[in-house]
Amino acid sequence: MPVAFARQLTGPDRSQRADRHLGLLLATVAGALNAGGFLAVRQYTSHVTGAVSSVADNLVLGDWALVADAIAGVLSFLMGAMTCAVLVNWARRRRLRSEYATALLLEAVLILVFGLMGAQLAHHEALFVPMTVVLLCFIMGLQNAVITKVSSAVIRTTHMTGIVTDMGIELGKMVYINRAGGELPPVRANADRLRMLGGLLLCFLGGGVAGAFGFQRLGYVSTVPLAVVLATLALVPVMDDLRARWRLTH
């Protein structure tokens, strides 16, 4: 992967094109982890809607163990987003080029841990399932916060509800018939936004298919390539900071 392309995707100098490409990549990663994680622990972890509903349902049913599991998932997603904010603001205060890359590098490390240790830990199901849910929810919260900060809340990658809603809005504008006259401006769909939203949805779906297929055939190790790709992208700004620091101290 060319260094310039990696620097464009994960560096601090942002453009709409770079944000879109990073969003498509992260949507693929989220889809793969969500689908593979479901095959591992029978729970989806890329969003918190289901977890919050699980808290409500199991509170009424009196299943306190499942209530605790769902709350742990929500809190883990929250902690992932908080960790991203801390890392970005810490790097930004120090004017580092890795202000976004640090969080992505942490995500890569955590995915690598899941991929390399999952098979060994799976034998201890009572401990493995809640730990895996917590880990994957943390990763998804971390990732969603990264792309939110990078794109100024324009792009989301871990859940598709908002994506499909926005697609529906743009498609509604597209099929709306503008009548002649009137004081209001004509309604027009944003074709570029619609293409971006469609791309995010397709990447999430494609990542999900690849993640499910890879987990079914290879098991936990199928997530290692995701970690390698993210680490490769994120290491370029990190190395830029290390070289700059070296020049200042020598």
Domain residue spans of the chain: 3-240
Give residue-wise pLDDT tens across range 92-140: 999 999 999 999 999 999 999 999 887 777 777 677 778 888 999 999 9
178, pLDDT greater than 80:
no
pTM, two decimals, is 0.91
Q: How far is CA 8 from CA 198, 201, 248, in A?
A: 23, 23, 24
| Tokens representing residue 122 in the block | 């799976």
Report CA dihedral (115, 135, 141, 88) to the nearest 10 degrees.
-80
d(CA 141, CA 135) in angstroms, rounded, equals 10
The per-residue pLDDT for 1 is 55
64 CB contacts (<8 Å, ≥6 apart)? 58
Residues in the chain: 250
What is the phi-psi region of residue 14: left when phi exceeds 0, alpha when psi lies from -120 to 50, beta otherwise?
Answer: beta
Residue-wise pLDDT tens digits, 56-66? 999 999 889 88
Hey, what's the torsion of the CAs at 111, 112, 113, 114, to 10 degrees?
Answer: 50
Cβ neighbours of residue 204 under 8 Å, at least 6 residues apart?
27, 28, 30, 31, 157, 160, 163
